Amino acid sequence: MTDTEPAAAVRETADSIATMEVRGAATIASAAAEALAEQAREAASAHADDPPAFRASMRAASRTLRETRPTAVSLPNALRYVLQRMEGDSVEALRRSVVDASEAFVRQLDRAQEDLGRVGANRLADGDTVMTHCHSTDALACIEAAVEQGKSISAVVKETRPRQQGHLTAEQLRDAGVPVTLIVDSAARRYLDEVDHVLVGADSIAADGGVINKIGTSGLAVNARERGVPIMTAAQTIKLHPETLTGHTVEIEMRSESEVIDADAREAIGEVAVENPAFDVTPPRYMDAIVTEQGQFPPESIVTLMRELFGEGAEKPWAEP
């Protein structure tokens, strides 16, 4: 490992995130924090007497991780959390501070998910049916907490093209004892009349309360509003996007066309453009509540919490000084 070459564990984590073997905003965040701890362990032996080289290698590893997926803000927020706590005059002290911060971050993430699950569960009543989109561990925590409270909950699960993460949701809910009906995305409006809530996760939440989540969330939200079905986002505060406080927009990741059509279909259709945006933005007026570990918020008021947690904006501790 040279000064700025990332450790093998960082490269592996970056690859797994890019190929979506590791996916979902919260899971990406904890994998990134754990990879930084691995980087610290390797860098401590490679640069035992060179604190500046250790620090430079941590920043470089963070940049490698950060470049994998642009939309989920939990990734840079995880890197920020760990790097801001990197301190000490010796490499040993630096290593310890990074490993401690990484472990504390993962613990906090788990606790936050449990806490928000209880808040989200309070919105669900015994006998309710919930419609889900994609696979969100934060959203599932709400349903699982409701079941633990003794409520009987059923789910209508959208398969969520193109990668069908709804299958993961269906499996996890079935394991939790929740009766599941799996539907194709285009059937969602028809089934909205049969559900009491729509529950989604978030990859990022903007300062204006806009919710960035898996493509299709915004259409679902508009339809839910039209049918009079309440829709909530379950999102730990790690999903709040501090850069939007200073006017930046959230980049929407465009993925490969191979997720949409296979090579044979491509050949048969011929020369057409194929686009595959991974996420979309649901304007705050179509979202009833954002459920976090600190309670539930109307989307328009989330900016207050964002300022409390991040001040006026976001630092980039992975940048070269």
Q: Answer yes or no whether residue 24 interacts with ligand RUB by CB under 6 A.
A: yes
Phi, psi of 186 (to 5 degrees): -70, -10
Q: Alpha-carbon distance 284 to 196, whole Å?
A: 20
Report in angstroms how near the CB of residue 124 gets to ligand RUB at its nearest: 17
Q: Any contact of residue 25 with ligand RUB (CB under 6 A)?
A: yes
Among candidate residues 89, 72, 77, 73, the one with its CA nearest the CA of residue 36: 77
> Per-residue x/- mask for ligand RUB, residues 138 to 157, rule CB under 6 A?
xx------------------
Q: Does the protein bind ligand RUB through residue 58 (CB under 6 A)?
A: no
Q: Between residues 80 and 214, which has the closer beta carbon with respect to ligand RUB?
A: 214
**HEC string of 5-60?**
CCCHHHHHHHHHHHCCCCCCHHHHHHHHHHHHHHHHHHHHHHCCCCHHHHHHHHHH
Does residue 134 have an active-site annotation?
Answer: yes
Distance from chain centroid for Cα 282: 15
Query: With contact defined as beta carbons under 8 Å apart, do 180 and 174 qualify?
Result: yes
Task: Work out how close the CB of 25 gets to ligand RUB at its nearest, in angstroms, rounded to a whole number.
Answer: 3
Please report where in the chains the tokens 């789910």 appear, as a residue.
155
Report the residue from 62, 102, 165, 204 that binds ligand RUB according to the rule CB under 6 A: 165
Closest contact distance (angstroms) between CB of 44 and ligand RUB is 30
Catalytic status, residue 203? yes
- Does 278 engage in binding with ligand RUB (CB under 6 A)? yes
- Out of 136, 204, 237, 244, the residue judged to bind ligand RUB by CB under 6 A: 136
Q: Counting runs of H as helices and runs of E as strands, what totals does the chain give?
A: 11, 10
Indicate which residue of 138, 203, 280, 288 is catalytic.
203
- State yes or no: residue 77 binds ligand RUB (CB under 6 A): no
Tell me the residue type at 109.
L
Position 304: which residue type? T
Task: Please identify which residue in the block is written with the tokens 């990741």.
Answer: 253
DSSP E strand boundaries for the chain: 129-132, 154-158, 180-183, 197-200, 204-205, 211-214, 231-234, 279-282, 289-292, 295-297
Least distance from C-beta 261 to ligand RUB, angstroms? Answer: 18
Nearer to ligand RUB, 24 or 317 (CB): 24
User: Can you tell me which of 34, 159, 203, 293 binds ligand RUB, judged by CB under 6 A?
Assistant: 203
Q: Which stretch binds ligand RUB (CB under 6 A): 5-13, 18-26, 36-44, 101-109?
A: 18-26
Contact with ligand RUB (CB under 6 A): which of 7, 10, 14, 26?
Answer: 26
Interacting residues with ligand RUB (CB under 6 A)? 23-27, 72, 134, 136-139, 165, 201-203, 213-214, 278
Q: Which residues are catalytic?
A: 134, 203
